[in-house]
Amino acid sequence: MDMVAGNIRGNSMSAESQSVPSVENVLPKAKLDIGALPFVLSVFLGAILIFLVQPMFAKMATPLLGGSPSVWNVSLVCFQAALLGGYGYAHLLAKLKSVKLQIGIHAVLLLTGAICLPLGITDAFGDPSADQPALWLMGVFALSIALPFGAISATAPLIQSWYARTNRADAGDPYHLYAASNIGSLIGLAAYPLLLEPFTRVATQSNAWTVGYGVLFFCLMTSGVFALRQLNITNTGTSAAAERASLSWKERGIWLALSFIPSSLLVGATTHITTDVAAAPFLWVPPLTLYLLTFVFVFSKKPVIPQSVILRFTPAIIASVAFMLPRVVDLGWVLELSFTLIGLFWASMACHGLLAARRPHVSRLTEFYLIMSLGGVLGGAFNALLAPVIFESILEYPLILAATLLVLPAVNTGKIDQMGRLVLMMAIGAVAIAFILSSTGVFPDRRTVSLLAAVPVLGIVLARGRRWIMVISFIAIGIVTNVMDPVSGGQRERGFFGIVRVLEGGGHRLMMHGTTLHGAQLTNEARALTPLTYYAPATPIGQIFRQYNDAQTVGVVGLGVGSVACYSEPGQDWVFYEIDPIVVDIATDPSRFTFMSECQPDARIEVGDARIQLAYEEQGYFDLLLLDAFSSDAIPVHLITREAMALYMDKLSEDGVFIAHISNRHMALEQVFARIAEEEGMVSYVQMFSPDKAAPEFDVTPTHAMLFARNQDALDRALETGLWREVHSDGGRPWTDDYSNILGAMLGTVR
């Protein structure tokens, strides 16, 4: 990637000679020539529709796949692939000399795409596959939305191509329409979480999108008519211009690399955020918004932030993000979220700025966009599809962050200078100290680890312009924090639903899902079947399973290591619901954990999303039902909505008890459940359990749980302990499948 840095103007038109009209001049004003209006409106509306439908489709599909963050990532790759298809189609269509023929072909494609409207999730593939969820999702996307989305995605390059063939004064430089397209994209993205999602049902959103599709068809056909009326008969072909604008394969490779990196970072940053919080549009939209905003900035005449400033401070920004990444450096979710978003924006500004400076002659416009789109698809696919197969841990995100450092302008020196040697010594020294400390078996506290990691972080800043030395310092950060992490290493398995690790140490065997402990077992055979962590006898969950040990049928949503199975009594019927096949394999493997094999070897385990699987159970089937299905600290929102609670109550016997594990580092969920319970006519209680400070680590952990039933009498046994506190709704709006307020839960307000 060193080839990218060099002269950022490349071998095509310089940034100065390709000055683009500012964004404010792109959008229609009173004195704007009416001849340009259809072109601007077409790209503007097309972009709005494209970026309204992305979170809308993901919201439709996410509940079917357990609320996994990977749903958004795979969906994003599908959208990028459809966008590539649209750009490829526009590139081929633009080669036709007859604009009238182009308009006719595109009209037919748009009308054909209308057969998918109004949008919805096809049932042609049946229930989601737990073994191949990504393939199921891609198939659903292809049948449900790919055709109209691909037709619309061709709008921006096709309209610019038509515009370039007119006799308008600025026809030779239509790139300003791309800025209008990205402004529309931003409006579409912002409108969904702020206006559509909170106030409208999904069906209403789909119908509104269908109306927008019809309006876009009218705008596109109007643009075609205007293009024909203003056609410059001396500029209807591009062969002569293409000969003048020669283009090397090296230059194409640079375009590809500069579009690959930000796209990969977009998916990586989104995964990093949603894995530990929630898979919800509120958190999907900010990374994509910032990513698109960089296109608006770099393609404007007067960038908001000069490219020289962006390139100068990129190492410092990347260093800050690298410092926030490790689990052992925990400075709070607000700082982590902020630096993740800032890092994505800044790195994208650097790469897209270098890309914009190399944009070619207008005769290469559609090819330029096609290669940009290809880089975007490859970047997204690398993270969402390839990385889970080739990496056991989430290496792709830091790997591409490091790659960003390689595309920056380099110091013109052929050897390591004095500053370079100093930085190398700092990085090597930090790594050496980390190995020495870890060899003692005593791991320092977070503050000490943070200070040690800060040494190579500072090295990245000092080594600005020395690409490989910056990368070495970046790698040193990862080594230091990994060596200093007391729960690093172990056996890893990675799948669609995340990374599951099995670790052993201190007399315990642990299961980690993401960054969260999901169960532990003592290696001492005499005590091996004693439930630990959140499920220990003293915790709220342990209390309920001991007090209601006469329940005939027990349901558990979320298998973990199967700890609660050892509360079972002879004659009971137990059913576990688990969406991740990897977790099932680990929990039922007696060489790893023995709770299931020893206590409930014949238990029924339903693999798939709990809401889908529970729907097949008989009404009133369970006497006791536990909800414990969070993946890391990311909550599957669709499992804590009013519709979900209605399902749980429908499957609960008249005197049945429902308990929900709501421990979470980022969100206050007590009122979320309390509001739903009141709407469903249930009584609810809460218990915040804190273990004795002298209790061994991993034996018992702080636990926040809520208890529900249709009638007060069903909870008498639990309430006799005096440990449960009744909870009443504050009167706020309950979460539903069409409404949730993640930000409110994160801030503890849950409005």
* Chain segment 442-496, per-residue pLDDT in tens: 667 777 888 888 899 899 999 988 889 999 999 998 888 878 776 566 788 888 7
Superfamily of domain 534-747: Vaccinia Virus protein VP39 (3.40.50.150)
Q: What are the start and end residues of each CATH 3.40.50.150 domain in the chain?
A: 534-747
- Write down the pLDDT at residue 746: 67
- Write down the pLDDT at residue 563: 95
Helical ranges in 154-195 per DSSP H: 155-164, 176-191
CA–CA distances in Å: residue 457 to residues 3, 319, 419, 470: 25, 5, 15, 9
343 neighbors 320 (Cβ within 8 angstroms): yes
- Write down the pLDDT at residue 298: 84
Report helix, strand or coil for 691: coil
Please spell the DSSP secondary structure of 523-574, one letter per residue.
Answer: S-GGGTTS--BTTSTTSHHHHHHHHTTT-SEEEEE--TT-GGGGG--TT-EE
CA–CA distances in Å: residue 585 to residues 65, 499, 581, 588, 604: 19, 13, 6, 5, 14
The contacts of residue 411 (CB under 8 Å, 6+ apart) are 417, 465, 466
Between strands 516-522 and 508-513, the pairing is: antiparallel
Give pLDDT < 50 ranges for the chain: 1-32, 238-244, 632, 749-751
- Write down the pLDDT at residue 235: 55
- Write down the pLDDT at residue 4: 41
Report helix, strand or coil for 130: coil
Q: What are the start and end residues of each CATH 1.20.1250.20 domain in the chain?
A: 32-406
226 neighbors 165 (Cβ within 8 angstroms): no
500 neighbors 583 (Cβ within 8 angstroms): yes
What is the signed CA dihedral for 433, 438, 441, 447, rounded to 10 degrees? 80
- Write down the pLDDT at residue 504: 84
Query: Dmax of the chain from CA atoms?
Result: 90
Number of Cα atoms under 13 Å in the Cβ half of residue 635: 24
Q: Long-range pairs for 451-454 at CB < 8 Å and ≥24 separation?
A: 452/480, 452/484, 453/323, 453/326, 453/329, 453/477, 453/480, 453/481, 453/484, 454/323
- Write down the pLDDT at residue 684: 96
Query: Quick one: tokens of 227?
Result: 């293009």
Quote the CA–CA distance of 67 and 133 in Å, as a whole number. 12
Superfamily of domain 32-406: MFS general substrate transporter like domains (1.20.1250.20)
- The values of phi and psi at residue 21, to 5°, are -55, 140
CA–CA distances in Å: residue 64 to residues 130, 201, 487: 10, 17, 32
Quote the CA–CA distance of 360 and 235 in Å, as a whole number. 17
- The values of phi and psi at residue 549, to 5°, are -75, 0
Query: Quick one: tokens of 483?
Result: 């060596």
